[in-house]
Structure 1
């Protein structure tokens, strides 16, 4: 995927979307910890930053959201994480990141997923032109993962 570079690629008002830098890791892990309750994805986040596969949204120079992606899902772009700080939700950050990731995707097909119980994220996908593409059972007990797709 083309890197966004160290400078902001997309800035709307006080919001900027940019490629995460290693200096952002503490802020990113803090947001992830707020959402999942632990820092177990530290290595995953660090590797994504080093490989320039992590983008983030900054609001007033503070990390408000981040996303991690790769191209190992059947040689298509897959957005594996899209996390918005609980205190920063409902400001359009998830939509902005989705749109930027589709824009810079090196593949013509972009996929992502969310649990059936995550109705908020399902609405974000649908509002941004993603369509349901399948369901994966048995990842989280009793809460299937819905796969979403968007063509570039």
Structure 2
């Protein structure tokens, strides 16, 4: 006879990890649905948004800056940026002071698609999280707290 398996949680709905996984899958599906018409993946959108955000303060945004902003693996960022360059959403130029780095800039097409993506993603987020109602800001603060507690150095 098989040994009885012991669970810490009495049901899947008591497990925050399980619930987070389910929520993430549903949220990613929603994001894919709104980004597909723009020819963007969720990862490409995140990196474009990071570049757009960083470009507001800095004229010389590098791949490392984008990776740090997005809390992303540098090799993955490099690969995705190559794809975004092929799609003509970004350009790479020589860095004025660091010969090893390239300055990453949004092209006119990149600015246009990023603005469209931001509008659709923000609306999708509002709809997706509408079940939280007035508790949305508390939910966001709690997520930030969990992120900060578990961030790797």
What is the TM-score of this pair, normalised by structure 2?
0.30
Q: Which has the higher contact order (CA 8 A, sep 6+)?
A: 2
What is the TM-score of this pair, normalised by structure 1?
0.30
- Higher Cα Rg, which structure: 2
